[in-house]
Amino acid sequence: MYNQGAVEGAANIELGSRVFVYEVVGLRQSEETYQTNYPIRKSGSVFIRVPYNRMNQEMRRITRLGGTIVSIQSLTALEQVNGKASSGNANSEGNGKATPVNANSEVKSFAKPPAEEQLNNKDNKGNTMTQAKAKKDAHGDVPVNIYRPNAPFIGKVISNEPLVREDGIGIVQHLKFDISGGDLKYIEGQSIGIIPPGLDKNGKPEKLRLYSIASTRHGDNVDDQTISLCVRQLEYKHPESGETVYGVCSTHLCFLEPGADIKITGPVGKEMLLPEDPDAKVIMMATGTGIAPMRAYLWRQFKDAEKAANPEYEFKGFSWLIFGVPTTPNILYKEELEEIQQKYPDNFRLTYAISREQKNPQGGRMYIQDRVAEHADELWQLIKDEKTHTYICGLRGMEEGIDAALTAAAAKEGVTWSSYQKELKKAHRWHVETY
């Protein structure tokens, strides 16, 4: 589905340059994989530049990839608003940031707009739990797009350590990069782009992929010289051949050796930033590598070296992490999490949902939405506190169950959850990034 009125309106505008920009949400990975049920990151918007004579063709392609066109603007109109036209890079695990474009060129790339300009999206069932509109100016000078795809920063791999223990499922790595040779700065909750080497199937350079940063602004060494990622090797079955397919960028990252160069862009994102209030209450719901930004939050809040590096910020609030994984060996950063829980029992609560080992009340597998349902009344009371911020990161499939659990809890007090949630988003207290 797309906005037909917007299409007709745009088509009738007289422009010196007949080029349009589609804002699209929900795009799948590629024409070959759009039919697969494997979750592909699709939070936020992508922008596609389209010449007038290819508008219908591009609409059909977007529809095939499961996308929805939410707005269409002329490139000239965008230039008038922004001062220049821009586009970025399409990719399967994230979206590139803006780089200059030529209005006469063909459609080649997608771009993810600055987070404060993104729309609140809904899925095709009308669910409201998607990436919320980002906070404006609440965090002051947030670093964004210091390095762009056409001029990335070249970092070096310091370490690449496995996070999944013996008998666990899949490959997940913790990578630490040296960024001392440049000006790359970031804060907790942001993402960076990684550009893998080589060419894609069309013989063009590989596009960047976005990954949530797993370290605080000071890095794992707390010296402002490193940045870390938590990366799972993407693996799925081809919908037609049944052949196992591995993600290009994730596979590249998971098997990098120390000393290797890595192309980095960004940072990007303002939606998942922590509140500056040291008395805030923080609810975190994560699955798999969705733990990455949560780890950064917890380090900033509780790690001794981090606390020493941030004398102006002393966390005195409360954080609750509900973490969904398939097996105990798949609990990423398990030792770190449990150390914080033991040291700060009054300020940090840790709840696991281990799907292949634990049972929900119905006798089925225990997923994160089941844990949320189990604690829904308590979570609801926390959410009502104006100091509470909720962060959701991980697989998109968990959202509907979380929504249902909180709907039931709110209904006990005569509150309609979907309406209340909209108010939370307006207050910038509901933060979602799912894929």
Q: What is the DSSP secondary-structure string of 280-329?
A: -EEEEEEEGGGHHHHHHHHHHHH-HHHHHH-TT----SEEEEEEEESSGG
From the list 211, 352, 367, 391, the catalytic residue is 211
The b-or-e profile of 272-294 (16+ CB within 10 A means b, else e) is bbbbeeeebbbbbbbbbbbbbbb
Q: φ and ψ at 86, to 5 degrees?
A: -155, 155
302-308: which pairs have CB atoms within 8 A and are 24 or more residues apart?
Answer: 302/340, 302/343, 302/344, 302/347, 302/348, 303/216, 303/340, 305/222, 306/216, 306/218, 306/222, 308/222
DSSP state of 142: -
Angle between helices 334-343 and 291-302 (to 10 degrees): 40
* Max Cα-Cα span within the chain: 66
Asked about 435 being catalytic, the answer comes back as yes
Q: What is the DSSP secondary-structure string of 245-288?
A: EE-HHHHHHHTPPTT-EEEEEEEE-STTPPPS-TT-EEEEEEEG
The residues pairing with 182 across neighbouring beta strands, listed in sequence order, are: none
From the list 92, 191, 212, 319, the catalytic residue is 212
Tabulate helix, strand, coil % of the chain (nearest 5). 25, 25, 45
d(CA 151, CA 420): 43
> What is each CA distance from 380 to 164, 215, 319, in whole angstroms?
33, 29, 15
Instruction: Name the residue with tokens 């506190």.
Output: 385
| Tokens read off for 211 | 């990954």
> What is each CA distance from 291 to 105, 147, 298, 321, 334, in whole angstroms?
40, 25, 10, 9, 11
Asked about 339 being catalytic, the answer comes back as no
User: Please, how many CA atoms are within 13 Å of residue 121, restricted to the half-sphere of its CB?
Assistant: 27
Asked about 393 being catalytic, the answer comes back as yes
Active site residues: 211-212, 393, 433, 435
